[in-house]
Amino acid sequence: MKVLIIGGTGLISTAISRQLLAKDVSLTLFNRGQSAIRFPEGAVKIINGDRNQHSAFEAQMQQGESFDCVIDMICYTPEQAHSAVRAFQGRTQQFIFCSTVDVYSKPAHRYPIREDEPRMSASSYGQNKIQCEDVFMEAHMRGDFAVTLIRPAMTYGEGGGIVDTWGWSTRIFDRLLKGKPILVHGDGTALWCACHVDDVAPAFVNAISANAYGKAYHVTGEEWMPWNHYYQAAAAAVDAPSPTFVHVPSHVIAHLAPERSIPLVTNFQGVSIYDNSAARTDLGFSYTISWIDGVRRTYQWLLDHHRIENSDEDPLDDQIIQAWEAAEADLVRAFQSR
């Protein structure tokens, strides 16, 4: 079997590649050649190019070899999606698109969220992914190639960080280890999920199947964690002190740091739990790596590679915490002095 991954050097892509190579798949990676390839020399074929140069990319793919399956890990705009359709029409049997659970609006109509939940994302990232999904499913309906959509949620692991109030971070480990107070949006009870990349990757590999044609799948974590527990478990995983939380309403954080709080407003403040039943049935998905074990592995990798950022160099959390605690104290005094 011949498989092409567009991307191939990111966190999920690398895990997918390792599992495909273990199955003796003939694997080709297409990317710009700007990131290190973490495979033995000769294990994979590399094609360098820029997919955003649409005409050149399409010609490169149309003039090259055909593939049994193409897995697109880095398609973020409808223009890229249209280009991919032109590039691979008649050149592949199946096209797997890495989408996202961010296609859904929050709050959802029901929980856990199923694949048929209306896609009305509040973020530009999610809105673009919706348009990409539509482009690919239209190609599927025309018979250009069979399409499978996979929607991961937060996917983490060795090679990256974890999410905090502002998005992806390694500074959060430094804050925890130094015993600094942790800024938590709302009251910390909104449910969140995370899945280690080694549990996510097999679903992509097993989706290379006629059983997955024309379908969409969630591949997400199955520990539905309040944010308070999320941070408590992360602290335990790295042998940090039990954290002290400072809870600040999400809308206040958004007013104080509007640009940096976009992920919070569009994603983190809502409930994020998903039904993986379809992936379990069709793709053999299994959630095997607990949050605390996955964080422990991720932290150790970061430590070994000297990749943990110094939280002292980003004072925003401390500034907001100090301002909130002062305002809260003023409010209590004002109320008590009535």
**257: pLDDT strictly greater than 80:** yes
**246: pLDDT strictly greater than 80:** yes
pLDDT, tens digit (0-9, with 9 covering 90-100), for 106-157: 999 999 999 999 999 999 999 999 999 999 999 999 999 999 999 999 999 9
DSSP 266: I
Is it true that domain 2-156+194-219 has CATH number 3.40.50.720? yes
Q: For 299-313, what is the mean pLDDT?
A: 98
At residue 289, φ and ψ (nearest 5 deg) are -105, 110
71: enclosing H helix or E strand:
strand 67-72
> What's the Cα-to-Cα distance from 67 to each of 51, 70, 74, 89, 331, rounded to whole Å?
17, 7, 18, 11, 65
163: enclosing H helix or E strand:
strand 162-164
Long-range contacts of 59-65 (CB under 8 A, 24+ apart): 60/87, 61/30, 61/87, 61/88, 61/91, 62/87, 62/91, 65/2, 65/28
- CATH topology of 2-156+194-219 equal to that of 162-193+225-272+292-297+307-329? no
Q: Where are the domains of the chain?
A: 2-156+194-219, 162-193+225-272+292-297+307-329
At residue 34, the pLDDT reads 78
pLDDT, tens digit (0-9, with 9 covering 90-100), for 67-79: 999 999 999 999 9
335 vs 35, higher pLDDT: 335
Average pLDDT, the chain: 97
Band of pLDDT at residue 41, cut at 50, 70 and 90: confident
What's the topology of domain 162-193+225-272+292-297+307-329? UDP-galactose 4-epimerase; domain 1 (3.90.25)
